[in-house]
Structure 1
Amino acid sequence: MLPSNHTSHQQEPFWLGNWLRWRGLDPGYDEAHSTEQLKFDVVYTWVNGSDADLQLLRHEYQSKSPLFQLSAAGDTKTIESVTTKRFRDMDELRYSVRSVAQYASSTYRRIHILSTESRPGQAQTPYWLKTALDGSTEGELRVVPHRAMFADSADLPSFNSLAIESQMRNIPGLSDVFIYMNDDVFVGRTMMPSDIWTSLYGFVFHMEASLLIPPTIRPVEANPLNVGEWSSLQYSNFLLSNRFGPRWRAYLAHVTHVLSVPMLNEIYRQWPLDFNSTSSHRFRGEGEAKDIHVSFFMAHYVMEMLRETQLESYWQYRLDANHDGVIDYNERQALLDMVKSWNQNQDLPQDSPQRKRHSRPTILDGHKIILQKVGMQMSGSTDYRYAGLDGFPFMIPTADTSKTIPLLPIKTPGSKPEPQQPYKSYEKPQERTCQLNADFCFGPEFMDTNRTSTLSIYQSQRIFERIAKSEFHCGDCLLELLMQHPSNQGGISAILPKDERSEAFQRVIRKLARYNYVLGTSTYWFIALQGPEQSRNQLKGLTDNRANIAYFCINDDFPNDLKLQTTMHGIFRGFLDERFPLSSPWERPGSLPMIPGSNES
C-alpha cells in the first residue's frame, strides 16, 4: 500500500490479501482507508532564462564545460541559438499552476517549484508569486531551491532538467506519492486522486505502446548540443534491459507523471552510480548524454518488478509443490501438461465453440463501482485500460518462443523494419494469445524425462533467469498462461502461495501491492509552437476541443528571434488568458505578464 501521508510501503493492511487474491472487500477497508488524506504533492521544474544574473551564471559554467568547448567549435552564436530555447520562459508556469488550481483542487496537497539560485543564496521566484515579508511563499505553494534537494552541492548550479529530476526524491516534506509536471503541461479537465494512484489499483501510468524505446545506447550526436530526451530514454532502457531483459519499452506519455519517493529510493539503491552521474551533468549532453530519465525509468521498473514478483512467486511456491527447494520430475511434468493443454487450446480459432475460457472477471471488471463504494470517484478524465495483476500488458503477440527475439528491427524486402511490436495494452486478457515452446524456453535440463532427475536450486534459478529476463517473451507467455488458463479459475491465485497464513503469502502480497499498477488513457494533445499561423491554428484546435482534452503540452520550438518571440508570446498569452482566466490563489494582484527579453525574475 502506498498512501500519501508518508506511511511506509511495508505496512500491510489486513484487507489486502483478500483484495488481491479474490477482489473482495470487507468492512475493514473502510476503517483503514481515508479519502480525505489521499492527496498528492505537485512538483514543477522551472527556470527563468530571461534573468540576466542567470544568463551570466550559465555562460560562466558553459565556458568551463567540455561540451560547449567542443560543440560548434566554440562558436558562441551557434551555441546560444541552440541552448537559449531550453531556458526561455513563456510564462507557462503561471498558467499551468492555474490549471492545477482550477481542475485538481481535490488532488493536490502542496505545490513545489524547484528553482535555481541566480544569485548566491537567492532562488529564482516567479514574478507573479505572492511572498510574505520574509520572502517566503504563501500557503500550499513553495519555492524549493536546488541546494535543498541535491545530495551533492558540488553538482550545483545545474542547468540540466534530467539532473534536477534525479534529485526530486530528496525534496523536504514531499508526499510519498507525488505528481511531476513540466511547466509546459496543463490540466484541461477535472483531475481526481484516482487519476494518479489508489490503494486498490496502484499507480496509474499513461503509455504510448506505438512509440517504442530501443534497449541500446544512442550514438553520440554529431553536435552534442542537439541532444534531446531520446538519448536519456535509450540509456534508461539500456539499464533496465540489463536488469530485466532487452525489451523495446513503451514511451511514457507527455502528461502528468506519477512518481513515488520510496520507489525512487529503492531504484537509487540499485543504480547509485548512474543517478549520481546524472546529477553531476550540469548541462544536458554532458557525459555522452548518459542520463537517467526518472519518470520513464520508474514506470517501467514498477511494471517489471510486478511481473518478476508474479513469476517468482509461481516458480518458488507453486511449481515447487512440496517446497523442498528442488524441482522434481512430477513437478516439472505438471507444468508441461498445463503448457500442452494451453497450446492446444490456443490453436483453436477464437470463435470455436471448443475453445475454453475461464469465467473469472479481470481485476478491472466493475472498478468504477468498486471505487465508488469505498468513497473514491473516477474523474472521467482517465480510463483504466489494463491491470498489471492480469498479466504483463506489453506481451508481443507475434513472438516466436522457439528462438531468441532479435534485439534490433528485422528488415524484410519491401517493408518497413519493425521493432518488437507489443500489444497496445488495451486488449482484454482473454483475447490475447501466445504459444509457449517448452523445449526452447525451459531447456534440456527441465525437459529431462528421467523420473529420478531433479533440478537443484542453482539449476532452477538459472532456468528462471532465462525465461524471466534473457528470453523475456517466454516469461510473458508463461505469465499469460498461468493467469488465463481455463483451469485456473482464481486467476492470480495460480501464482500465489496456497497457505494464506504463511509468511511467504504475506511477503508476496506486500510486493504485489508495492508494485501494483494500471495503464490508463486520457485525451491529450502535444503542440510544438513553430510559427504564428501554425500556432494560431493549433491553439484554436485546443480551444474548439477543450471539453474533451484532459491534458495538453505546449512546447515552444521557434527560432531565437526577439521580434518573432514577441509575436509568439502574444499569441500564446492570448490563448492562455482565455483558457485559464482565473488567477490562482498564489498570484500577486495586478502582476503583469513578462515581456520577452526582459530581466524580470
Structure 2
Amino acid sequence: MPPPQSRAADSHHDEYERDEDDSGDAQEPLLPRFRFATASEGNKARRRRRWAERAALLASGALVVVGLVTVSAWMLSGGQRAGLAAAQVAPPSDGPASLATSSPPSRPSFAQQFLHNASFVNEGVVPFPSSLYSPVYRPRPLEHTLTTLSFASSPRCLERYIATGEVCSSFNGRWADEATRPKVDAIWTWVNGSSAELLTRWREAAAAEETRGRGRRLRRWLGRKVGALRRRLGEAAVARHFREHDELRFSVRSVLQSLGSATLSTLHLVVGDSPLCSPADRLLVDSGVPPLRGQQSVRAAQIPQWLDLPSVEFSEPSLGSPAQSPRLLVHPHSEVFKAGSTGDEVEARSWLQRVTPSFNSLAIESQLANIPSTAQVAVYLNDDFFLHRPFALADMASPLSGPVLRLQRDLLVRGVPPDDTHDDPEGEWRGLGYSAFLLDERFGKRARPYLVHVAKTVSLPVLREAQQVFLDALTRTAESRFRGRGPSEVQTLFLVSHYTIEKHREALLWSFLVARCDTDRSATYVSDERRALLAALGYNFDSPDADRRLVVNRPSRRSLLSLAEQHARVGLPNPRETTLDFSSHDGYAFFGLEGTGDIPVQPIWPSFRSDTTRAMSSSDPAPAVCTFDLTTCFGDAFLSPASDSVISVSETLARVAYKYPQCGDCLITLLVGKSGAAGLEAFLPADVDKEADEGRWDAELEASVQAVGLEETSWQAIDFSRGLEGTTGPSLRAKCAALIHRYSYTLGSSPAAFEAIRSGGDSLSSKLGGIDAAFVALNDDVASSSEGVLEDVDARMGAWFEKTWPVASPWERAEET
C-alpha cells in the first residue's frame, strides 16, 4: 500500500502515470503520481486534465499556504525568539532517540512551544529546526524481544519452557493485573499529498525571489494571496478541509476502541516534512535570531488538522518519558530517515535532503525501525485500516508465543531478481518479488505466503535486527521518493515477517547441528560426534545395512492447546478474534507448503494436533509426512564411520538448511516428533553444567540477547560454526532456548473485510453497514471526478465512521459548530 493520502492523492499507484522527465529531485513538482493514465487521449487533452487537477489541488490545499504563513508570522514574533535560541543549545541527536530518559528537557524547543501556544490554531504544520535530528544511521545493540524479555530474569524457566512447553509455577498469575501486562505500540504513516506541490512551489518561489533580492516584495505578495484565499474560501472551506478526509482519525479511534488504553503504549504518527525556508533563504527568520546549529533552516512537519496541538507530542531526542499512556507521538521524516550508506554527518544531511519529503510508502516503511520506541511489539496500519471488534493483547502478540502473523496460504510470492522483474513498478508485486529474492539469498529459495492485507504485527527488536542485516537494500529503498522510481524497493513488513519465520527455523537447526552435536566446539565433526548426531535421528552409524532413508511420521502435538491453558495460568486473556493455526513451538510453519519428492503437500498449517477422532496405537501408526534422505542431506563421507575427512559444521548446516531445504524442513519435523507432545527438547544440547553443579541454579542469572548469522546477506558466506560463544552467564542450553524463543511467532486467522469504494449512493451505505469483521480495509477506488459523487461518498463514509467509532480520541480538537 502507498502512504495514506487525501482523496485528491488517491493511493492506487497502478492507476496513475508519471512524467517521463520527472527525475525524482527534491525540487521536482510533486503532482505526477496523481495524474490519471489515459492512453487514448492526446497531449493537449492530457495537459488540460492535468491543469484541471492542479487547480483542484490548489483549492483543497490552500489552507496549507495559510498555515505556512501563520507559522512564519508566529516565528517572527519576538515572543518566540527564546524558543529559537533554545533550539541551538541542544546538540543534534547521535541516533534513534530514547524515550526512556530520566527527565524532560530543561528548555523546550520551539516546536514544543509551538504546540503549546494557546493562540495558535492547527493549520496542518509544525515547525522544527533541521538540526534537531542526526541523519546518520547508528545501529542499536540487539534488544530482547517480547518473548525473551518476559523470561529475562529467569533463564531456568525459559529453558524449561522451550524444552518441555511447561511454564514455571512462579509465572502463575503474573499478568493477571491488567496494569502489569505488556503493552504494544501502534504506527501509522501519513503524507498530505494534496499539499505537496504547494509546498514545493512555495519554496521555489521564495528562493527565486531571494535570489533577485525581493524578500519584502515576496512577503507582501504572499500576504495578498493569503488574504484573497481566505476571503474566497471562507469558513465553509475550513470545515470541509477539516472533515473531508478522516480515515486516519477514525483508524486511530478504532485502535483505541478495540485494544483499549491498557494495551497501548505509544501511538506513532510518521509524517512528511519540508523546508520552511531553504538554507540560503532567511526571509522568514528574523535577522536578529542567531543561526541554528548545523543548517540555518527550519522545517515544517505536516500534521492532520483534526489534531489538538497541546495534546500532541513532537518526538525529539531529549523528550522525556510520558507521564501517562497511551500518548500520540509525531515523527517527521527527518527523524526516521537515516543514511545507512555513510557515517559522515555532512554527506548524510545531503542524502536526507535528496530523499525527503518522501511520497513512497515503501521508502517510509523501510525506515520504521528508526522510530524511537521502548516497546517490543507494534501494530502497523495504513490510514485506511481499521480494527472493528474488541481485541485482546494475544490477538496481536503474546509474551509466551510472540507476534501473531496473518498469512494467505493460497497466495504465494516467489523471489524475482531485480534485473529480471517485469512487474508494474508502482504495483506491490515488484517489491514483494524483490523482498522474496532477498530472503531466498539469505535463507534458501522457496515460495512464501502473502501477508493478509490488514493491520500487521511486528516485533520491533527483530525489525531493527533485520534492518542491520539488509541495511543496503533498505537504504536504497529509502532513496526512491516516488514508488517505482528506484531499481529495487523492499516491502519491509513482508521481509521482516518472513525473516522472523526463517530465523526461528535457523535457530532450531543451529541449536541441534551446532550447539548440541559439535560438543567440543571445534567447528568440525569428529567420528563420535557424527555417531551421536545420527543416533539422535534414529540411524545406526555403525550398521552398513541400515536404511539411509528415514521415514518421519506425523508428530502428535498439543502446543496450541497448551498455549491456551498457559495463558489462563499466567493471567493473560486468550485471543478474542483470532484462531491460532500454528505455533512455532511445533517447528517450521512452511513444512509441506508446496511439497517435494520427500515432503508431500500438507493441506493446512502443520499444527500436528493430536487426532481425537480415532485411537492411536502401535498397530495404527501416524501417517508418514516426509522422508529424510541421509545421503542427500549429509553426504557419503559424513555417513562413513571410517571416513577421516574433515566434516565442517558450518557447511553441514548450510547443506541441510539451505542447499537442500527439504532436508532442513524434514529434520525439524523429525526432531519435533522426538520431543514429545510439547516442547523442543530434541533440539537442545545437554546441560552438562547443571549435572555437574546443581547449586548453580540457586542463583538466577540474567538472560542475555542471543543471535547468530547476522553478518551476511547470503547463506553461502556465513560461518555458522560461530555464535553464542562465552563461558559466563547461562549455560549453552539456556542460550539456545533464548535464541529459539527470540523468533517465536504464531500464525493466526481472523475475520477480515477488504472493501473497494467505487461509488456512492445507497449501495455504499449498504456495503458499509454490512461489514462484520474484526479487521477492515477500505480502498478508495472512486473513479468519478463529479463533485456531487465525491461529496456523497464523503458523507456516507463519514456517517458510517461516526456511527461505528463515535468516541473521539484524546488528541482530537473540538469541532467547531
**Shorter-chain TM-score above 0.5:** yes
Instruction: State the 1:111 CA deviation.
Output: 1.0
Identify the match of residue 149 of structure 1 among 328, 336, 350.
Answer: 336
Matches within 5 A, 1:92-111: 92-105=247-260, 106-111=262-267
Say whether the 8 Å CA contact 2:268–2:331 is kept in structure 1. Answer: yes
CA change 1:118–1:53 in 2 (3 A) is: farther
Whole-angstrom distance in 2 between the partners of 1:32 and 1:26: 11
Secondary structure of 1:128's match? coil
Matches within 5 A, 1:467-482: 467-482=656-671
CA change 1:383–1:282 in 2 (3 A) is: same
Matches within 5 A, 1:41-190: 41-51=185-195, 56=200, 90-105=245-260, 106-118=262-274, 120=276, 121-132=299-310, 140-152=327-339, 153-154=352-353, 155-190=355-390
Matches within 5 A, 1:434-473: 434-448=626-640, 451-454=641-644, 456-458=646-648, 460-473=649-662
Say whether the 8 Å CA contact 1:160–1:282 is kept in structure 2. Answer: yes
Deviations 1:20-68 (A, max 9, x none): 11122224335976752511111100122233655646998xxxxxxxx
Whole-angstrom distance in 1 between the partners of 2:450 and 2:273: 32
Secondary structure of 1:434's match? strand
CA change 1:148–1:330 in 2 (3 A) is: closer
Q: Does 1:512 align with 2:734?
A: no
CA change 1:107–1:494 in 2 (3 A) is: same
Whole-angstrom distance in 2 between the partners of 1:132 and 1:461: 57
CA change 1:204–1:30 in 2 (3 A) is: same
CA change 1:432–1:180 in 2 (3 A) is: farther
Say whether the 8 Å CA contact 2:587–2:669 is kept in structure 1. Answer: yes
Instruction: State the 1:357 CA deviation.
Output: 6.9
- 2:496 — aligned with what? 298
Whole-angstrom distance in 2 between the partners of 1:264 and 1:2: 12
- 1:310 — aligned with what? 508
Q: Give, as a single letter, the amino acid of the residue that structure 1 aligns with 2:505.
A: R
Q: Give, as a single letter, the amino acid of the residue that structure 1 aligns with 2:564.
A: K
Matches within 5 A, 1:238-249: 238-249=437-448
Calculate the aligned-residue CA RMSD, in Å.
3.6
Say whether the 8 Å CA contact 1:215–1:246 is kept in structure 2. Answer: yes
Whole-angstrom distance in 2 between the partners of 1:159 and 1:260: 25
Instruction: State the 1:310 CA deviation.
Output: 0.6
CA change 1:58–1:39 in 2 (3 A) is: farther
User: What percentage of residue pairs aligned between the two structures are identical?
Assistant: 30
Whole-angstrom distance in 2 between the partners of 1:322 and 1:574: 69
Q: Does 1:569 align with 2:569?
A: no
Identify the match of residue 425 of structure 1 among 572, 596, 605.
Answer: 605
Whole-angstrom distance in 2 between the partners of 1:516 and 1:327: 32
Q: Give, as a single letter, the amino acid of the residue that structure 2 aligns with 1:24.
A: E
Deviations 1:263-295 (A, max 9, x none): 12211221221111111111111122x112111
Whole-angstrom distance in 1 between the partners of 2:274 and 2:764: 35
CA change 1:398–1:248 in 2 (3 A) is: closer
Q: Which runs of 5+ in 2 are unaligned?
A: 1-142, 205-242, 277-298, 316-324, 340-351, 541-545, 611-622, 691-729
CA change 1:468–1:141 in 2 (3 A) is: same
Q: Give, as a single letter, the amino acid of the residue that structure 1 aligns with 2:158.
A: L
Deviations 1:531-582 (A, max 9, x none): 336xx64763553352xx1111111123362534333323322322222222
CA change 1:323–1:50 in 2 (3 A) is: closer
Matches within 5 A, 1:260-275: 260-275=459-474
CA change 1:214–1:13 in 2 (3 A) is: same
Secondary structure of 1:41's match? strand
TM-score w.r.t. the length of structure 1 is 0.78
Matches within 5 A, 1:349-360: none
CA change 1:426–1:530 in 2 (3 A) is: farther
Deviations 1:69-112 (A, max 9, x none): xxxxxxxxxxxxxxxxxxx9832101101111211113211211
- 2:782 — aligned with what? 558
Secondary structure of 1:287's match? coil
Instruction: State the 1:461 CA deviation.
Output: 2.6
Specify which structure has the bigger relative contact order, considering alpha-carbon pairs within 8 angstroms and separated by 6 or more residues: 1
Identify the match of residue 368 of structure 1 among 558, 564, 576.
Answer: 564
Say whether the 8 Å CA contact 2:549–2:630 is kept in structure 1. Answer: no
Whole-angstrom distance in 1 between the partners of 2:313 and 2:577: 37
Secondary structure of 2:625's match? coil
Say whether the 8 Å CA contact 2:755–2:778 is kept in structure 1. Answer: yes
Whole-angstrom distance in 2 between the partners of 1:283 and 1:457: 50
Identify the match of residue 162 of structure 2 among 8, 14, 20.
Answer: 20
- 2:596 — aligned with what? 400
Say whether the 8 Å CA contact 2:551–2:624 is kept in structure 1. Answer: no
Secondary structure of 1:215's match? coil
Say whether the 8 Å CA contact 1:129–1:588 is kept in structure 2. Answer: yes
Whole-angstrom distance in 2 between the partners of 1:134 and 1:259: 24
Whole-angstrom distance in 1 between the partners of 2:313 and 2:628: 64
Instruction: State the 1:452 CA deviation.
Output: 2.0
Instruction: State the 1:174 CA deviation.
Output: 4.9
Identify the match of residue 391 of structure 2 among 180, 191, 195.
Answer: 191
Instruction: State the 1:454 CA deviation.
Output: 4.8
- 2:346 — aligned with what? none
Whole-angstrom distance in 2 between the partners of 1:590 and 1:15: 53
Identify the match of residue 39 of structure 1 among 183, 187, 190.
Answer: 183
Whole-angstrom distance in 2 between the partners of 1:498 and 1:173: 37
Whole-angstrom distance in 1 between the partners of 2:185 and 2:811: 16
- 1:522 — aligned with what? 750
Say whether the 8 Å CA contact 1:15–1:29 is kept in structure 2. Answer: no
Say whether the 8 Å CA contact 1:110–1:141 is kept in structure 2. Answer: yes
Say whether the 8 Å CA contact 1:394–1:423 is kept in structure 2. Answer: no
Whole-angstrom distance in 1 between the partners of 2:578 and 2:767: 21
Say whether the 8 Å CA contact 1:99–1:187 is kept in structure 2. Answer: yes
CA change 1:432–1:573 in 2 (3 A) is: farther
Whole-angstrom distance in 1 between the partners of 2:521 and 2:500: 28
- 2:697 — aligned with what? none
Say whether the 8 Å CA contact 2:423–2:430 is kept in structure 1. Answer: no
Q: Give, as a single letter, the amino acid of the residue that structure 2 aligns with 1:439.
A: T
Secondary structure of 1:144's match? strand
Q: Give, as a single letter, the amino acid of the residue that structure 2 aligns with 1:263.
A: V
- 1:203 — aligned with what? 403
Say whether the 8 Å CA contact 1:395–1:423 is kept in structure 2. Answer: no
Relative to structure 2, which stretch is displaced further, 259-268 or 4-13?
4-13
Secondary structure of 2:437's match? helix
Whole-angstrom distance in 2 between the partners of 1:318 and 1:4: 26
Instruction: State the 1:188 CA deviation.
Output: 0.6
TM-score w.r.t. the length of structure 2 is 0.59
Q: Give, as a single letter, the amino acid of the residue that structure 1 aligns with 2:264.
A: Y
Secondary structure of 1:291's match? coil
- 1:544 — aligned with what? 770
CA change 1:275–1:10 in 2 (3 A) is: farther
CA change 1:513–1:432 in 2 (3 A) is: farther
Highest Rg: 1 or 2? 2
